């Protein structure tokens, strides 16, 4: 919103400081000036950012009122005087059929007006504010909104058929609005109508058929007060947001309509014409009682101290200061004893809030009763007054203190586990990344942990972001693809984040969130050669062994079983199981998926279900006794048939259960070449024997070696020379 | 110069012993001076300290054998000293010999090292941890909550009544198929971490001090500084006698920890439905010290967070489950800050999109 400093100064002639100082002072009181632009002889243009609760300050007079409050200066009253009216036999008919939705309606007739371009101060200020000028009668309504914030409307009186009726729209009723759109109305819409037809959508936008044209001779000026929620619903329903709806839906000043009406009339009359009859002003007393005449609220200075705390000067906010600020804001302050009876009858504007918040202020022995200005419908409770006092006093004049504390600090139960996982992956050379929370429906179908469990977004950002991610893998893939497309050929990434699942059958009654980890690697991510399965498995082993599981093993299922995730290469992937339950899947991306994404380089992926992993405790170090006796190493080079996996070979050796066999490991695996026959592979198995009690004898080691060879031979292995 | 004969010993008096040992020591010094190669060193070691043919052993065997009982002790002491001398010379020569190795063993040390690279922690996580740790040191526990929230926790209980204009400020992504549920039960992507305030208070009677990091979502168009996905850290402190001055002091302290002790804060009135009074907080620009630079748009100040005293209406909602939150007795403050914005400022990141791209060229810079 744009504001002219010269206009503010017209309303508060006592301001002597510079525009820039004025802008700073307003900003520090919550009337934020985002930019100050020099207009030369015309002062400055302020670019304002007014918070949504301060509709009263969304105009020049409102901001002038703030300035007057801050500086304790006088605010010039608005001049609403008009030339004498020609008498009429009977007043123009205005009927409010919906007293709950329209609290006040003023109408004034102007005869023999002259429609033409705006001139003088209106034209000049429109130019400075870059406001589009249309014609004097229309500009007058916009000018008044800019001046004092109350929306008004001018009708071509000769197009009206009978008096004004404020009623609900009829179902299916049609109205062509000022923006040229033909709208179908709903009974929840409030309309300003004549006896025959709707003239405008109340508080939102006027109608096409009764608008001011160059031929207009006679005008009806409307200034009214409409129910905020009704205006908001109509504005939302018809997707039309106007200056008028913006103000009405935030709560306009109930006392403003007669003034606004006069101000509009004055401007129109400048080009000619005369007032006919007195102002018609229909006031619904209940609405008046809810707004302008709403009950005073109880106020205790002790609460100011309790909520705001000490001031810089140490004096705190005295009762006198508090009362002075409230009075400058337009409140009336009296001792509670006298107005106690009305103080309990607080009513909220918004019925949904009526039962909430503070209980109504009962008689407060040392308190005061504060009556509230009609333009500040946002003031409803004692706390609102405390905020006003803090605001006008100046937030930065309060001391900086630290509250004492004697409690304990509690860590989240999985905080250490999460930190261990992150630390481990960073040490393993994976870089942390964060990808989108959303994915495309096609990816959701492929990567979901359980079929048909992905959750759809009702109003997605884009088609590619239509689903809540059921897996971190599609995001990981996208990030790897991005890196490859930017000539980053070596990449190792991980992401820790939430994955989502729900049941579309029951309309997503609940959405489950699970902590998940994805890892991905491609190229020479870890130095050395291309990333291989063993790199991924090694990372998984290192990661999973941070946790104290009774068992950890890797396996896979036949491709035909349907148990493998669809995104993994069936022959180059594995499941990791901790204590018998799946915690991770990893391996090479399925060639079909790679093809679909036009990936030329092999990509390795894994997903760890942290919700399951976190059920395990972190492994606590437990020291085993170190042997004082020498270890004996024996290497066994065997040819094994391809069908015998390493796990089978190792299992056979393990099954020997030789207590002195301290460890064994595959030192080398060779396939192909002249030395190794077709259908076989060569395994170099290194075994370490050691005892904690004694030095091993050569004969025992020989015997165990024979057993090892025997176990491997049983599987079809042959010792190599 | 090999002289394997046993040196003469004139008698057993202290002086005679000293003279004899001095002569042997001279011999040790002479032969030690000539040591250069590892072979010579080994030869020296064997000659003097060899277990079977060592000269020290030979001399001590000969002299001790001949010595009367009362001379054995002074002899032994002197042999120990002599042995220490030999060992010291051997050690010194060993240091000296390592200084000279063949030139052929020289390598090019300017070649790059073989780095086993650590992964880089994400700048958002790094920043988030930094913020959280500051508040943990001030007695705050960490809390978290779901990313998919109900309308009740995201809006209603935070004093955004249904249909209220304040809801317009937070464009919301909603879960599909919620239309048939009552409004308050409808699921949406939380637009802020503030719902965790309510969830925490419902679980725990006052006092409470909690800091809440988390991911949030809004239905906003992406540009250089806006992303529909971003991160917040929320804080809440409720107790008897918590004041606006406490809020100011806490955030002033936190900002000094985060950006350096010379940073100043200033507070502006603002509006959030769930706090009252509400404030926006600016810090003096940590880059130019407040003089004005590009980063602070030449204003000297940078707006960094929103905060305020917990609105009594919010306590009212919480009281439905935890009656201890009586706004007449307790009070509290809440604050929230954008992690993305702070990270971007701290590290000079120009595009928020980089944070969510997974681009390694960007991420590796945080290693």
The residues pairing with A152 across neighbouring beta strands, listed in sequence order, are A223
| Residue among A430, A418, A609, A446 nearest A520 (CA) | A430
The partner residue sitting opposite B360, judged by closest CB among A357, A381, A491, is A491
Q: Please tell me the distance from the alpha carbon of residue A306 to that of residue A303, in angstroms, as a whole number.
A: 5
Chain A residues near residue B277 by CB distance under 8 angstroms: 307-308, 386-387, 390-391, 395
Give kind and range of the element (H or E) at residue A571.
Answer: strand A568-578
Q: How far is A107 from chain B (nearest CA, A)?
A: 29
**Strand, coil or helix: A6:** helix
Q: How far is B241 from chain A (nearest CA, A)?
A: 6
pLDDT of residue B164: 81
Strand bridging mode A603-608 / A581-589: antiparallel
H helices of A616-697, in order, are 646-654
Residue B207 near residue B322 (C-beta atoms within 8 A):
no
Would you state the structure tokens that stand for residue A435, as one six-digit string?
């990808």
pLDDT of residue A350: 41
B226-253 burial: b if 16+ Cβ within 10 Å, else e: ebbbbbbbbbbbbbeebbbbbbbbbbbb
Strand bridging mode A431-432 / A491-502: parallel
Chain B residues near residue A249 by CB distance under 8 angstroms: 165
Would you state the structure tokens that stand for residue A580, as one six-digit string?
């018998």
Neighbours of A707 (CB within 10 A): 14
Q: How far is A174 from chain B (nearest CA, A)?
A: 25
Residue B25 near residue B83 (C-beta atoms within 8 A):
no
Q: Please tell me the distance from the alpha carbon of residue A384 to that of residue A399, in angstroms, as a whole number.
A: 21
pTM equals 0.84
Helix A319-328 and helix A301-308: axis angle, to 10°? 100
Contact check, Cβ <8 Å, A399/B245 = yes
Query: Cα–Cα distances in Å, from A439 out to A56, A500, A513, B149, B340?
Result: 44, 11, 15, 19, 22
A636-649 burial: b if 16+ Cβ within 10 Å, else e: bebbbeeebeeeeb
Contact check, Cβ <8 Å, B121/A432 = yes
Would you state the structure tokens that stand for residue B119, as one six-digit string?
């992964």
The partner residue sitting opposite B364, judged by closest CB among A431, A478, A527, is A431
Would you state the structure tokens that stand for residue A47, as one six-digit string?
């670019």
Q: How far is B55 from chain A (nearest CA, A)?
A: 35
Q: What average pLDDT does the structure give for chain B?
A: 90
Chain B residues near residue A233 by CB distance under 8 angstroms: 163
Q: Please tell me the distance from the alpha carbon of residue A398 to that of residue A310, in angstroms, as a whole number.
A: 6
Contact of A394 with chain B, judged by CB distance below 8 Å, is answered with no
Contact check, Cβ <8 Å, A460/B173 = yes
Count interface pairs A-B at CB distance under 8 A: 265
Query: Cα–Cα distances in Å, from A88 out to A94, A222, B109?
Result: 15, 19, 107
Give A 60-99 residues with CB within 8 A of chain B: none
pLDDT of residue A317: 92
Chain A residues near residue B311 by CB distance under 8 angstroms: 357, 383
**Strand, coil or helix: B345:** helix
Mutate to test the interface with B, among A36, A432, A526, A611 (most CBs of B within 10 A): A432
The residues pairing with B195 across neighbouring beta strands, listed in sequence order, are none
pLDDT of residue A342: 41
Mutate to test the interface with A, among B360, B362, B363 (most CBs of A within 10 A): B360
Give A 321-350 residues with CB within 8 A of chain B: 350
In this predicted model, what pLDDT tens digit does every residue of B263-317 receive, in sequence order? 999 999 999 999 999 999 999 999 998 888 988 888 899 999 999 999 999 999 9
The partner residue sitting opposite A429, judged by closest CB among B117, B229, B328, is B117
pLDDT of residue A366: 61
Q: Please tell me the distance from the alpha carbon of residue B176 to that of residue A500, in angstroms, as a whole number.
A: 13
Residue A116 near residue A244 (C-beta atoms within 8 A):
no
The partner residue sitting opposite B279, judged by closest CB among A357, A395, A400, is A395
Q: Which residues are CB-contacts of A546 (< 8 A; sequence separation ≥ 6)?
A: A420, A421, A424, A618, A619
In this predicted model, what pLDDT tens digit does every residue of A693-716 receive, in sequence order? 999 999 999 999 999 999 999 999
Chain A residues near residue B209 by CB distance under 8 angstroms: 405, 407
The residues pairing with B209 across neighbouring beta strands, listed in sequence order, are B237
Q: What is the DSSP letter of A442?
A: H
Chain B residues near residue A51 by CB distance under 8 angstroms: 270-271
Contact of A24 with chain B, judged by CB distance below 8 Å, is answered with no
The residue with tokens 């942290």 is: A610
The partner residue sitting opposite B253, judged by closest CB among A53, A402, A429, is A402
Q: Which residues are CB-contacts of B285 (< 8 A; sequence separation ≥ 6)?
A: B291, B292, B293, B295, B296, B299, B300, B301, B302
| DSSP codes, A356-425 | SSSPP----TT-EEEE--TT-TT--SHHHHHHHHHHHH-GGGB--------------TTHHHHHHHHHHH
Q: Which residues are CB-contacts of A383 (< 8 A; sequence separation ≥ 6)?
A: A307, A358, B276, B309, B311, B312
The partner residue sitting opposite A409, judged by closest CB among B141, B161, B363, is B141
Q: Is the pLDDT of residue B236 over 80?
A: yes
CA A227 and chain centroid, separation: 28
How buried is residue A547: exposed, middle or buried, by Cβ count under 10 Å (0-12/13-18/19+)? buried
Residue B355 near residue B226 (C-beta atoms within 8 A):
no
Residue A309 near residue A399 (C-beta atoms within 8 A):
yes
Radius of gyration from C-alpha coordinates of chain B: 40
| DSSP codes, A113-126 | -------HHHHHHH
Chain B residues near residue A352 by CB distance under 8 angstroms: 161-163
Residue A388 near residue A325 (C-beta atoms within 8 A):
yes
Number of H helices, E strands in chain A: 21, 31
| DSSP codes, B225-242 | S--SEEEEEEEEEEETT-
Q: State which residue of chain B sits closest to A350, comparing Cα positions.
A: B161
Give A 283-322 residues with CB within 8 A of chain B: 306-310
Q: Which residues are CB-contacts of A273 (< 8 A; sequence separation ≥ 6)?
A: A110, A111, A112, A113, A114, A219
Q: How far is A453 from chain B (nearest CA, A)?
A: 13
Q: Is the pLDDT of residue B366 over 70?
A: yes
What are the residue ranges in chain A where pLDDT is below 70? Answer: 336-366
Chain A residues near residue B363 by CB distance under 8 angstroms: 431-433, 493
Contact of A457 with chain B, judged by CB distance below 8 Å, is answered with yes
Q: Please tell me the distance from the alpha carbon of residue A577 to that of residue A594, in angstroms, as a whole number.
A: 26
Chain A residues near residue B175 by CB distance under 8 angstroms: 455-458, 468, 502, 508, 511
Residue A247 near residue A55 (C-beta atoms within 8 A):
yes
Contact check, Cβ <8 Å, B245/A54 = no
Domains of chain A listed by start with CATH number:
2-71 (3.30.56.10), 94-284 (3.50.40.10), 297-397 (3.30.56.10), 415-613 (3.30.930.10), 632-719 (3.30.70.380)
**Strand, coil or helix: A142:** helix
| Residue among A409, A401, A343, A340 nearest A372 (CA) | A343
Give A 470-529 residues with CB within 8 A of chain B: 475-476, 478-480, 482-483, 486, 488, 491-495, 497-498, 500, 502, 504, 507-508, 511, 513, 527
Contact check, Cβ <8 Å, B120/A431 = yes
Contact of A400 with chain B, judged by CB distance below 8 Å, is answered with yes
A243 vs B64 pLDDT, higher one: A243
In this predicted model, what pLDDT tens digit does every residue of B23-56 receive, in sequence order? 888 888 888 887 777 788 888 888 888 888 788 8
Contact check, Cβ <8 Å, B243/A527 = no
The residues pairing with A198 across neighbouring beta strands, listed in sequence order, are A193
Strand bridging mode A661-670 / A568-578: unpaired
Q: How far is A122 from chain B (nearest CA, A)?
A: 31
Q: State which residue of chain B sits closest to A458, comparing Cα positions.
A: B176
Contact check, Cβ <8 Å, B268/A415 = no
Angle at Cα A103 formed by Cα A372 and Cα A69, nearest 5°?
25
The partner residue sitting opposite B217, judged by closest CB among A426, A437, A476, is A437
| Total residue length of chain A | 721
Residue B11 near residue B67 (C-beta atoms within 8 A):
no
CA A417 and chain centroid, separation: 29
Greatest CA separation for chain A: 133
Chain B residues near residue A486 by CB distance under 8 angstroms: 359, 361
pLDDT of residue B8: 79
Query: Cα–Cα distances in Å, from B227 out to A188, B216, B332?
Result: 36, 10, 31
pLDDT of residue B46: 86
pLDDT of residue B95: 65
Contact check, Cβ <8 Å, B165/A232 = yes
Q: How far is A451 from chain B (nearest CA, A)?
A: 18
Contact check, Cβ <8 Å, B119/A492 = yes
pLDDT of residue B98: 59
Contact check, Cβ <8 Å, B360/A386 = no
Q: Please tell me the distance from the alpha carbon of residue A33 to that of residue A28, in angstroms, as a whole number.
A: 9
Q: Please tell me the distance from the alpha carbon of residue A553 to that of residue A436, in angstroms, as a whole number.
A: 32
In this predicted model, what pLDDT tens digit does every residue of B77-124 receive, in sequence order? 888 888 888 888 888 876 655 566 778 888 998 998 888 889 999 999
pLDDT of residue A236: 93
The residue with tokens 């010999």 is: B97
Contact check, Cβ <8 Å, A432/B142 = no
| Residue among A66, A63, A69 nearest A47 (CA) | A63
Q: Please tell me the distance from the alpha carbon of residue A484 to that of residue A486, in angstroms, as a whole number.
A: 5
ipTM of the complex as predicted: 0.87
């Amino acid at each position: 919103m744009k504001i002219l400093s010269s206009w503010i100064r017209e309303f508060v002639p006592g301001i002597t400081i510079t525009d820039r100082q004025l802008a700073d002072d307003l900003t520090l009181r919550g009337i934020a000036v985002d930019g100050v632009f020099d207009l030369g002889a015309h002062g400055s243009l302020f670019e304002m950012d007014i918070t949504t609760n301060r509709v009263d300050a969304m105009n020049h007079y409102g901001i002038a009122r703030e300035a007057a409050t801050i500086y304790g200066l006088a605010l010039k009253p608005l001049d609403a005087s008009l030339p004498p009216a020609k008498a009429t036999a009977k007043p123009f008919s205005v009927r409010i059929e919906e007293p709950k939705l329209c609290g006040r309606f003023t109408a004034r007739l102007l005869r023999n007006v002259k429609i033409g371009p705006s001139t003088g101060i209106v034209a000049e200020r429109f130019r400075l504010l870059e406001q589009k000028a249309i014609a004097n009668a229309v500009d007058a309504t916009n000018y008044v909104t800019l001046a004092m914030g109350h929306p008004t409307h001018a009708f071509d009186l000769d197009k009206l058929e009978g008096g004004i009726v404020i009623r609900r729209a009829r179902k299916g009723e049609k109205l062509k609005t000022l923006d040229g759109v033909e709208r179908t109305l709903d009974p929840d819409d409030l309309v300003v109508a004549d006896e025959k037809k709707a003239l405008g959508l109340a508080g939102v936008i006027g109608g096409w058929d009764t608008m001011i044209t160059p031929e207009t001779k006679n005008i009806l000026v409307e200034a009214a007060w409409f129910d905020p929620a009704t205006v908001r619903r109509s504005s939302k329903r018809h997707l039309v947001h106007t200056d008028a709806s913006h103000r009405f839906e935030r709560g306009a000043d109930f006392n403003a309509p007669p003034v606004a009406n006069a101000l509009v009339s004055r401007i129109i009359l400048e080009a000619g014409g005369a007032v006919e009859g007195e102002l018609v002003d229909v006031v619904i007393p209940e609405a008046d009682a809810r707004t302008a005449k709403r009950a005073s609220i109880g106020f205790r200075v002790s609460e100011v101290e309790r909520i705001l705390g000490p001031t810089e000067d140490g004096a705190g906010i005295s009762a006198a200061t508090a009362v002075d600020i409230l009075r400058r804001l337009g409140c009336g302050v009296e001792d509670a004893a006298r107005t106690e009876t009305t103080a309990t009858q607080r009513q909220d504007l918004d019925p949904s809030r009526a039962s909430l918040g503070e209980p109504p202020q009962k008689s407060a022995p040392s308190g005061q009763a504060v009556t509230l200005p009609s333009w500040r419908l946002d003031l409803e409770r004692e706390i609102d007054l405390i905020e006003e006092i803090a605001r006008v006093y100046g937030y930065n004049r309060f001391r900086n203190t630290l509250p004492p504390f004697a409690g304990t600090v509690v860590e989240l139960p999985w905080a250490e586990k999460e930190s261990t996982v992150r630390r481990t992956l960073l040490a393993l050379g994976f870089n942390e990344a964060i990808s989108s929370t959303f994915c495309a429906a096609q990816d959701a179908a492929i990567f979901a942990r359980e079929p048909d469990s992905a959750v759809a977004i009702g109003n997605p950002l884009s088609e590619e972001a239509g689903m809540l991610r059921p897996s971190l893998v599609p995001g990981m893939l996208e990030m790897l693809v991005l890196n490859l497309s930017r000539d980053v050929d070596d990449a190792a990434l991980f992401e820790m984040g939430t994955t989502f699942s729900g049941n579309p059958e029951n309309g997503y009654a609940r959405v489950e969130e699970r902590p998940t980890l994805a890892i991905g690697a491609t190229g020479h991510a870890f130095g050395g050669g291309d990333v291989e399965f063993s790199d991924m498995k090694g990372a998984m082993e290192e990661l999973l062994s941070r946790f104290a599981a009774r068992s950890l093993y890797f396996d896979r299922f036949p491709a035909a079983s349907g148990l493998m995730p669809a995104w993994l290469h069936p022959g180059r992937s594995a499941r990791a199981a901790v204590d018998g339950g799946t915690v991770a899947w990893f391996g090479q991306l399925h060639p079909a998926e790679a093809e679909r994404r036009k990936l030329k380089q092999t990509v390795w992926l894994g997903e760890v279900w942290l919700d399951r992993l976190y059920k395990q405790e972190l492994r606590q170090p437990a020291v085993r006794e170190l042997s004082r006796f020498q270890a004996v190493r024996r290497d066994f080079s065997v040819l094994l048939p391809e069908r015998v996996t390493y796990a089978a070979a190792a299992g056979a050796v393990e099954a020997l259960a030789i207590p002195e066999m301290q460890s064994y490991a595959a030192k080398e695996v060779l396939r192909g070449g002249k030395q190794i026959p077709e259908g076989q592979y060569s395994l170099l198995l290194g075994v370490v024997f050691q005892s904690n009690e004694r030095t091993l004898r050569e004969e025992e080691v020989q015997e165990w070696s024979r057993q090892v060879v025997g176990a491997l031979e049983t599987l079809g292995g042959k010792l190599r020379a | 110069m090999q002289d394997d004969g046993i040196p003469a010993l004139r008698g057993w008096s202290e002086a005679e012993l000293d003279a004899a040992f001095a002569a042997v020591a001279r011999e040790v010094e002479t032969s030690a001076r000539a040591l250069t190669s590892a072979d010579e060193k080994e030869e020296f070691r064997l000659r003097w300290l060899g277990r079977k043919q060592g000269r020290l052993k030979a001399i001590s065997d000969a002299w001790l054998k001949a010595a009367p009982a009362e001379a054995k002790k002074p002899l032994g002491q002197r042999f120990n000293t002599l042995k220490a001398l030999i060992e010291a010379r051997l050690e010194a020569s060993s240091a000296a010999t390592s200084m000279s190795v063949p030139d052929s063993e020289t390598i090019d040390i300017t070649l790059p090292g073989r780095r086993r690279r650590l992964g880089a922690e994400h700048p958002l996580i790094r920043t988030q941890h930094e913020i959280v740790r500051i508040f943990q040191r001030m007695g705050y526990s960490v809390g978290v909550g779901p990313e998919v929230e109900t309308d009740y926790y995201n809006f209603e209980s935070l004093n955004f009544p249904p249909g209220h204009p304040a809801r317009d400020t937070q464009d919301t992504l909603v879960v599909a198929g919620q239309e048939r549920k009552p409004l308050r039960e409808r699921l949406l992507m939380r637009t802020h971490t503030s719902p965790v305030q309510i969830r925490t208070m419902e679980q725990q009677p006052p006092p409470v001090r909690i800091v809440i990091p988390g991911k949030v979502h809004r239905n906003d168009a992406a540009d250089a500084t806006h992303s529909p996905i971003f991160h917040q850290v929320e804080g809440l402190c409720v107790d008897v006698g918590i004041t606006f001055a406490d809020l100011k002091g806490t955030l002033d302290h936190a900002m000094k920890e985060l950006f350096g002790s010379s940073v100043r804060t200033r507070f502006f009135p603002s509006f959030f439905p769930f706090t009252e009074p509400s404030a926006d907080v600016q810090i003096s620009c940590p880059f130019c010290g407040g003089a004005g630079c590009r980063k602070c748009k030449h204003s000297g100040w940078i707006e960094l967070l929103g905060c305020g005293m917990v609105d009594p209406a919010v306590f009212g909602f919480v009281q439905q489950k935890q009656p201890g939150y009586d706004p007449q007795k307790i009070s509290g403050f809440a604050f929230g800050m954008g992690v993305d914005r702070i990270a971007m400022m701290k590290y000079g990141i120009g595009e928020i999109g980089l944070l969510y791209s997974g681009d390694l060229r960007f991420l590796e810079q945080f290693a």
